[in-house]
Homo-oligomer: A and B are copies of this chain.
Amino acid sequence: MKFSVTVTLKKDVLDPQGKVVQNTLLNLGMDNLKSIRQGKFFEIEIDEKDEEVAKKRINEMCQKLLANLIIEDYKINKL
């Protein structure tokens, strides 16, 4: 069973990496760019038949390792 996880910085957390990307794109002439924020993306394959159980496991992975819950949010999607 395959899932994707996106980890993004919370709204009020500064995103210096995204800022650099934004400035670079503006310098490249993309003047209608309003904002860009960067996050992490994971594609996870798990050996589990029950979707509910699989989601629980992925959730556990996010909480234990993939996301820093103090400054980041995460979203899990089935692929």
Contact = CB atoms under 8 A, between A and B. Distances in A.
Contacts of A44: 33, 35-36
Q: Give the number of copies in the complex.
A: 2
A37 interface: yes
A46 B64 CA distance: 34
A47 to B, nearest CB: 4
B45 A36 contact: yes
Contact of A8 (B38, B43, B66): B43
Q: Chain A: interface residue count, which band?
A: 20 to 34
A40 interface: yes
B43 A40 contact: no
A33 B47 CA distance: 6
